[in-house]
Structure 1
Amino acid sequence: MTRVLLATFSLLPDGEPGGDLLVAALAERGVEARWVVWDDPDVDWAAADLVVLRSTWDYQRRYAEFSAWTRRVEGVTRLLHGSDVVAWNAGKAYLLELAADHDGVPVVPTALLDDRRLVPGLAAALDRWGTVVVKPRIGAGGVGVVVASSTDDPRLEGLVAGPWVVQPLVASVRTVGESSMWVLAGEVVGQVDKRPAGGEVRVHELYGGSSAAVPVDPTRAEVARAAVVAAARRLGAPPAYARVDLVLLEGQEGLGGGWAVSELELIEPGLYLDLAPGLAAPFADLVVSVLVVPGLGEA
């Protein structure tokens, strides 16, 4: 039987919420899968036909170690996604590359900040956009996100280690929220809408946010597909899977309009199987297709 290892991290040894559904879906397709912790020294990665990055949700604070691990694993077996994808997607500077794509993918305006130019860079962003959001360049889960209205805003004391990206505060995040679109093998197969708690800009449950699976909206699906196509041009091959987070830019001067990409997650996007159990089957189908076709999904 084909063996697949689903990589997770130490605080979730049994995988992402609802992860048993993915194991069962793979078993129905003749694939033996199990969850393993990515930094467990006892795991024999070479014994797997494929390793799939799933809930490795500590990679952002252990990036150098995690990146080295991806290179070691793909030296002995196939890794989905591989180290080149991880290297490109881990830092949010990729948003500038998507915005520069010749097909004009709509992206939330983004600038880069580092310690050396923190004050002048922040001042320029504030002058351009007004209230801004500062995020760690390599980050996840809303950790280290700071909203600021001036260079002496006391909230900036909450900055985690840089470098960072800075973006305008998109007002609709507090009212409409954001939409996460799952794109598997180029097709949008699911949508989860997320709303923050009162006054927050982070939609994560940790900060009081709520999420719900909803039918796929064609307009948002088109933007999500365009983002994945643009990423494929940068990577040289289409990514096998992606989660594209979108926010609505309507009503803010200087930001254009419509749905825009706030994040493209190619490394370890959770499938929200507890909310959208139907995503287990298409993801299992994707894994099987990668196993059958050499090189598929190895952007």
Structure 2
Amino acid sequence: MTNHHQSTRGKPRVALVTCSALPDLDPDDRLVSGPLAARGITAEPARWDDPAVDWSRYDLVVLRSPWDYALRRDEFVAWARTVPRLVNPADVVAWNTDKRYLAELSAAGVPTVPTTWVAPGESWTPPADSGEIVLKPAVSAGSQDTGRYDLADPEHRELAVAHVRRLSTAGRVTMVQPYLSAVDTAGETALLFLAGPDGLAFSHAIRKGPMLTGPDLGVAELYKEERIDARAATPEQLDTAAKTLAVVPGGTDRLLYARVDLIPGRDGAPVLVELELTEPSLFIGYADGAPERLAAAIASHLNR
């Protein structure tokens, strides 16, 4: 089969990759369609697991909301490796969809939330102290299968053990992290970076309010509802984000976007919660000009 390129067939076509639960994309992602059309670029939603899609027909394939991949990560990564002109690239997808990358970033000197890992089949007992912890799988999206536990509460301790056992039985690695109480007041800050002429450039930031109210009871949901507000990034947050992006394997020149999620640590300094390079919400509806900046980033990748 011959690949068709924009130089030989009129308007460039871009696939915005989604999942069956969001066939018309997440509402925030739809905001880029107009700015892309204004640039003469046709954008179409496409499900990542739709066998009828011919990915070679697109000049660029942009991962946006394939948020159902967590229970099929191997399948998702294998699919990504078959897609031409995918952004972010397949090797980034393979690295970033398993949150054990946090251990690599921590070893490289990036301040991260302290994390321990419980492998499938490994026994786990809640720490003896009475603080709060967060449990979540190493492969997840949208805060799926994530819970908050108060270890001073005997019932919470039992539910925490059950949570780890549930993930272990499913063959999933569990992350154990302290709950950082600053999220209840300062919230979580997401810094959004988009491709520009000189590589990734800071676009905007948002504040996410606290989402975890208690234990996870195993109820399936695509993502947890979030309270989002615009926020100005501080120099310290931007510095932490720069340190994080500086150690991304393969560098950041290939990336279309990146999202760096930070929370104040116990000393008040920002620590990394997650580095989102696969399918992050970009919150382009919360910053003036952000839809146009995303369209410009996509156009820049089309021109490469």
Tell me the TM-score normalised to structure 1 length.
0.83
Q: Which moved more, 1:63-72 or 1:271-280?
A: 271-280
* Residue 110 (str. 1) matches residue 115 (str. 2): yes
Q: Mark the CA change 1:128 to 1:95 in structure 2 (over 3 Å): closer, same or farther.
A: farther
Residues 80 and 197 of structure 1, relative CA distance in 2, 3 Å threshold:
closer
Aligned partner of 1:12 among 11, 19, 22: 22
Shift, 1:127, TM fit = 5.5
1:247 aligns to what? 263
For residues 154-165 of structure 1, what are the structure 2 equivalents within 5 Å? 154-156=158-160, 157-159=162-164, 160-161=166-167, 162-165=172-175
Moved more, 140-149 or 47-56: 140-149
In structure 2, the partner of 1:297 is: none
Which deviates more from structure 2 when the two are superposed, residues 193-202 or residues 272-281? 193-202
The CA distance in 1 between the partners of 2:163 and 2:269, in whole Å, is 31
C-alpha distance in 2, partners of 1:284/1:208? 26
Q: Cα 1:224–1:177, aligned 2, differ >3 Å: closer, same or farther?
A: same
Against the structure 1 CA distance between its residues 19 and 145, is the aligned structure 2 distance closer, same or farther, given a 3 Å change threshold?
closer
Distance 1:33 1:199, change over 3 A: closer
Q: CA deviation digits over 1:72-119, x for unaligned, max 9?
A: 21xxx2100122111100111000111111xx2211111221133331
Matched residue, 2:70: 60
**For residue 137 of structure 1, what is the aligned residue in structure 2?**
138
Aligned residues, how many? 276
1:230 partner SS: coil
CA contact (8 A) 2:97 2:139 kept: yes
Change (3 A) 1:225 1:196: same
The residue aligned with 2:157 is 153
Give the aligned residue type for 2:259: R
d(CA) in 1 for partners of 2:215 and 2:184?
A: 6
Q: How many Å separate the matches in 2 of 1:201 and 1:188?
A: 35
Could you list the structure 1 runs, at least 4 aligned residues long, displaced by more than 6 angstroms after superposition: none
* Distance in 1 separating the partners of 2:69 and 2:129: 32
Give the alignment's Cα RMSD to 1 decimal: 2.7
Counterpart position of 2:90: 83
Which residue number in structure 2 is paired with residue 226 of structure 1?
Answer: 243
The one-letter code sitting in structure 1 at the alignment partner of 2:250 is: L
In structure 1, what is the Cα distance between the partners aligned to 2:238 and 2:82? 35
Stretches of structure 2 lacking an aligned partner (at least 5 in a row): 1-10
For residue 243 of structure 1, report the CA deviation from its aligned partner.
0.8
TM-score, with length taken from structure 2: 0.82
User: Which residue type is aligned with residue 190 of structure 1?
Assistant: H
Secondary structure in 2 aligned to 1:138?
coil
Q: 1:194 to 1:136 in 2, by over 3 A?
A: same
Residue 181 of structure 1 contacts residue 244 of structure 1 at CA under 8 Å; is this kept in 2?
yes
Q: Please report how far the alpha carbon of residue 259 of structure 1 lies from its aligned counterpart in structure 2 after TM superposition.
A: 0.4
Matching residue of 2:271: 260
Q: Could you say what secondary structure the match of 1:193 adopts?
A: strand
Where does residue 7 of structure 2 map in the other structure? none
Task: Say if 1:197 and 1:133 are closer, same or farther in 2 by CA, change over 3 A.
Answer: closer
Unpaired stretches in structure 1, ≥5 consecutive residues? 252-256, 294-299
Does the residue aligned with 1:96 lie in a helix, a strand or coil?
helix
Tell me the distance in 2 between the aligned counterparts of 1:208 and 1:22: 22
TM-superposed deviation, 1:215: 2.7
Q: How far, CA to CA, are the matches of 1:78 and 1:258 in structure 2?
A: 38
Matched, 1:173 2:186: no
Q: 1:173 Cα shift? A: 1.6
- CA distance in structure 2 between the partners assigned to 1:110 and 1:192 by the alignment: 24
